[in-house]
Structure 1
Amino acid sequence: MSQTTGGCVQNLLNLIENITADVLPLKDVTKILDVALNTSEKIVGSSSSPDELVTYGNRVLKASEKLISTLVKPTDTSDSVSFTLDTVEVQVFMVGPQVSLNQIPQLDTANASVDIDLIGIAKNNHETKSAAVAFMSYNTMENVLRPDFFNTSDDTVKTMMSTVISATLPKTDNRALAKPVNFTLKHIREFVSGGNLSCVYWNISEWIVDGCSVVKTNSSHTVCSCDHLSTFALIMQTSSPPEDDPLMEILNLVAVIVGLVYLSLALLTFAFCRWNPGVNNVARINICLSLLLAHLLFLLTQQFLNYIHPNQVLCAVISGVLHFFFLSSFVWMLIEGVLLFICVKNLSQISSKQREVLSSGFMIVIGYVIALVVVGVSAGLVPEGYGSEKCWIRRENGFIWSFLGPVCFILAINTILFISIIVSVNSTLKRLNAKVSQIKQIKIMVFKTVAQFVVLGCPWILGFFTNSSKIVEIVFLSLNSQQGTFIFLIHCVFNDEVRQQYVKLLSAILPGLQPRTIKNAPQNSSKTSVSMFSG
């Protein structure tokens, strides 16, 4: 099948190259060009050899230029033709001897533009006093004319940062440029700080830089100046990235999967167990829900990144959704911290007065609207900030702070709340009598205190120091992927009422198992103190 299709493409390219018609209708040109580019894209795959890619690339470029030249018609003043296909965008501009324009309008496509002194070129054509320029932006040509064909002496990673573009002067006798031509190329991938950008053109079998230079650049666009017309692109060279640690990848995968399991168990427990009317689980349920959706989407995205990333729109949408879910989970951690602080201050579970101040409806609005507003404003101000190489937030221009800013603020508040809670709990424990302050009770309290520290998201602070130590990175990954595990332990497993319901359920499933009687703490004051973390 591939050989038959390849033969068809070869025949099609031969027919295009041998076209004798001077002018063709726009409808015919677009149909033929669409078939040629789409079919070539399907044939040339990752298994193709470099020689096959070069051959196909050269023939497709030649055939495309031949087809586009048939759109050029004689004109006394000026005329233009443009069209857009899935594989290419084309703009053709023509001037004649009686042109009344002072300068040619900028030729624009979605990802590139060109400024050319076409009037100056026409004046140099002494016989006809006319000229035409054809500007093409290929959306898939980088798969054929790959950045690896840019031969450099150093061992660097080469990335195509723009669409491949072509600029030619069809049916123009004197093609000498009056002055250099400037191309503005939009970056189609995230610019890496420290990367070296090169404006290159295609020279039969490789990308070279002769006659082209970078005029100016920023995080989203680069302006190239060239003293000739050809097929151009923007290539970035970066140092070879360090190899991924397979152990860390396995640890990350296992930790996230375990966390997802316990998040699911916690949600099921919150949903199906009977809870004391004084217990408000809204924040905990929504922490679990936000983290579950965020980690699950992130895990699936990374597993299928090779299929997702080429679709820039899908990649950007996923990064925006991830931004929302992770941000909302932090907002819910803040709400949980506030609720716990109120609980500790009152030395009881949340009262009806407290629930009036922090009602479920109010908390849900705060928990999701704040995250939605931040993501909406971020997307509105810097829409290109979403869709990095990992389908996450881009780091250039400080856009990453649309996530880190709110997170740092929430972590700072939760840390302050946690310290205040510990001080209050410590003063309460000192008031307990010696019988209550047993070693077992202290151990339980210490565990629940540390666990609550994780639930409130405070270990995320370690994320700022993961580059300095592998141990810190492992601790950071282990703690923050297991927030659901700690929620399940302290609010479900170590909750007396829930544990009794677990035992009853097991005894119903296994008749031989008899429920155990779970003793309450001997003093109301101790139960109150412990329930601050369990209720």
Structure 2
Amino acid sequence: MEVRLADNLKTLLFLIVLLSPGSIEYDLFFNFCGTWRHGNGPLRLEVKLTPGCRGLSFAANESVLSVRGRLTAECNTDKVIELHEFGLHPEKDVGFCVYWEPLLDQFKMEVGGRNLTLCYPAVPLDSCCTDLTTGANAPAGTFGIFNATIMDDFITTKTRTAFRFRADAMGCKSLCDQADQDYLRSLLFSSGPSGPRLSCGHRSTMEMEDGFGGYNVSSPARPGSGSGSGSAVRVFVPPALRRSSNSSRVVFTFFNGNPLFQDGLQNLQNLQLLQDVVDITVENQVVTNLSEPVKIGFHHNAIPDQNRRSCVSWDVHRDPLQVRWLADGCATLARGDAHTECLCDHLTYFAVLVDLKPRPLRHLLALTCISLAGCAVSFVSCVALLVFFARKRRRPANNSNKSLPAHVGLAASLALLSLLFFLTGVIANAGREAACAWAAPLLHYALLSAFAWMGVEVFHIFWLMYVDTFGLPPPYVWILAGFVLPVLPVGVLVAVGDVYGLRELEQEGTRDTYLMCWMKLNPKARLAHYFTNLTLLAVLVLAGSVVLVFVYLKIRNRAEWRQNRVMVLSMWGFILLFGTSWGLAFLDFGPLSDFVLFLFCFLNSFQGFFLMIQFCLLDWMKRRSDRGSSSTSTRNTY
């Protein structure tokens, strides 16, 4: 019943779309392709496009490929392009394609695999030139165009000297409405849009009068743009623009989803240009080196911190034929994961470029050396600590020590974590992806197990201090919590798949990389990291900090705590047991970021070593004090 109702609703919407005004189909774009058969001399491309709506023609001879037309709204271009500048030589026939989009007044040509922008994207105000139809046939020749196609349909395989097309003018608003209707049909009768949405763009103008104090303008509201009002782009032009320009009229043009702007990224991997692009111009003038920057705020979907974003611009005066995005003249301010502000000292096309490859790590070599040294020392220290606990347990006086099972579990889990982290680089380089398929889940299990045993220590100390010394759960409960429970999330992630694998870390400013087995960088793995590692760590640090305060309030007035060394040593011991130092992971920001990063790396990689020193000192102090006084409850907790 529900399926039939949904089908009926789709049919009703389809009829509404068909019967709505302006439902006559026009061509939203035009493309013509062919192969140019030429001579052996130098080759050149001649292009002449003017405003109007009469038609378009292509002609070719031994050395010249000519494109002439009167079909643009505003574009007026007359160019002679020597094709050897683009690496095209006369040994082979040259394939080419022409793409015309009347909604954007955009004319692009692909010659020998090179994209040339001949008319830049704009927004026609009134009339759009479309529906190009074949005109009179040109004679065949030795040199010319063969294998010609229109909209991927073959015209002829013969070599002709020219092809001509007639065009018709129509209102741009009707054409834009048709584009919206086509997009709606693709949503209603398929699982998603059949291709990129043809956006009409939006144009806004502003006059700078005397006493101009700046101006704010926003793109049209659009659902899902990431901002509260729905405007994806907001622009502020400063008063300095009026002083730097002879003209008073400023034109703002907003684009969304135009594939042309992606052309500059064809040979660049791991880079993505966000869909929103804004063009800011002052009529008949090139504006550069503004004393106050233009502010452009882009609201977008959330971008993870590890992906670098940059404000970029395409200067059509520097690169008039090919799209080339540069960061020159723009500063980037990240105002949150879904808001980027660009401060630029010139006017042209602006967008946000995202590096899909993780942000290079600061001080990777130094941090790696510290981590590996710390893990090696901690592994040896934890093994020594386990031997120490085993010998201590044999003493009759320690049989009643309720804390010993928790300490043993923590030392064992830290030993496993230190060993696996020390070996992960070797495993990743030797076995690559195949070895990381099992090494990465094992390392994740060791980390979760260490966190779990730190949580056991938090609960254990709180129970001893505030609840009941004799009512502690039996040791097998701690073993289940510390060693068995972490198997569940790791097992689920392994079953889900595509979470664990080879991870490559890059040193900032160099090409040096470090391989390790860990979680991947896809959205699935990132979500798993947030819900397992960061969530558990946040709960652990919060609980440990709270219990640390409770313990301090409970025993601060005891006689032995009046000795500073006992107080400092005891509090440091609780911090190690509770894993509070791992909370530095949440403080990696601001001017002290580097200091926090090194402190986090040092304290946590050497955690096993510090624990060994802590327990050995406490044991020494306990044996020394037992010679003259009885033991205290503070020491019994260790």
Q: Pick the TM interval, shorter chain.
A: 0.3 to 0.5
* Structure number having the greater strand percentage: 2
For normalisation by structure 2, the TM-score amounts to 0.40
Q: Which has the higher contact order (CA 8 A, sep 6+)?
A: 1
* Structure number having the greater helix percentage: 1
Which of these two proteins has the greater Rg computed from alpha carbons?
Answer: 2
